[in-house]
Structure 1
């Protein structure tokens, strides 16, 4: 089922949209991409971890009013970790509008954002599965996969996207607890989830992981985060070699600066959040809706000859 989310009469429509949030016509019309979305400076807006998209200024655009599907994932069954906000939310909205059933996992403290996404998924007439829990818990990761398979009647798209990022100015400030939690969120959970999911994936299924430009151009203040993102690239490339023997593809998306709660909830110093995206060639951060089509492509049968690849969406910086 496909539909244009810009219709105010549809269930799940967000009635109080930021004035700059795009309609479908806005997003697809030819325009200067440097000024298509908000540019810094942004207000100071520190949030407690894990942060909520609804509390950001400007509120990120995940495609709520602009993404329109064309049936590219009709009948598919997707599990997306970190699907309440940011890139995961944009992928969840896009997948539902392309016709897929969608399960999203998120921390229980992120329920307000998650509820809005689940409403948008259900508005497309597809199944929405609610999976609150902590991916640093191995037992929960395995239970989450089993529940998603049970509620959707299968699984053929797996998006491992949930991540943890915190800045530390000096190596002396990166505690063992910091390092452990970042690795468990970004690497261990990826392994637990993939290991639990692979036996359920049929030939033709797709696995997509979210890395970062940090895997290639690490920031001095993101030691542990950058380390895990490089690990995600290596793990996914190795996994792709295994899975292709089963007819399953695996690929990586490596974003650059994107306007998500990861940044305002301790991922960057507050003064850097106010200028976030300034250093990109665009002079602004990406909006989550701008990366959603890549997740759709990699999940779809149109990407049948794409596996073991890293897709950079970096605002002109590239990945190498």
Structure 2
């Protein structure tokens, strides 16, 4: 009888070599820039988890794993929802390293080894799922231990499935996507995605002064609408945290440190929006938000404005996230 092969947990941790753009080149050329446009095409694995298993991926404790990243807002949403729903012992999660080169996301000692497959590069998960895959290697990536393949890297679906398909094991008091509020949540999510979540790269990429002023004006107007909405209610929809709050919060958390200093969206910081700032602190002071947040990883991307486009200067700012928020008196 031969000895069984060691599992990844039994083997010595396997790590990728340090990120090195001089040797491997930067991430993007040949992958991100060559990928199809649009969220649905850029993130091509669209499997869904269902409580009854009708999708081929039944909800089951211990079957699924999320590959995440501390700095990425899309991945951050999955980590928050997993913890809010009480699924930490049901769906496992690990983090890739903060740095990448042309090889894509990797597992290094700082953030830990891959506990499921022993991969050193996240690209190996994509290759195992689709041999010869040349597209975007993204987080979050939802992995199925049983089939040995990616279920989904389509981040909008991952949090919805975590919120709705694991109810047998989830905290029954948490209803992040209640049926009676889905139309309102979906409408808000669309606005947040369009005008807030994706604002920084769009504003930063403006090629004329007119385009720059229009794009940043749209985002400031959206922030003002959301600030007004939160003046008399504690959360965006109803009297409890929902998917809409999670989607908005991950951008608010990065606004003063990364998005706004990088793209020069607004002369006003998050801390200058009275209700948004107190709301953001209210959520941060809950374990699901605090424990999944590492502000040190939020840094803006340097860019050179197009010739003739004038932008104001704004230095990154770390706000007082632990200061009292005073929102206990508000209801939905």
TM-score (norm 2): 0.35
TM-score (norm 1): 0.36
Q: Answer 1 or 2: which has greater strand percent.
A: 1
Larger radius of gyration: 2
| Higher RCO, 1 vs 2 (CA within 8 Å, ≥6 residues apart) | 1
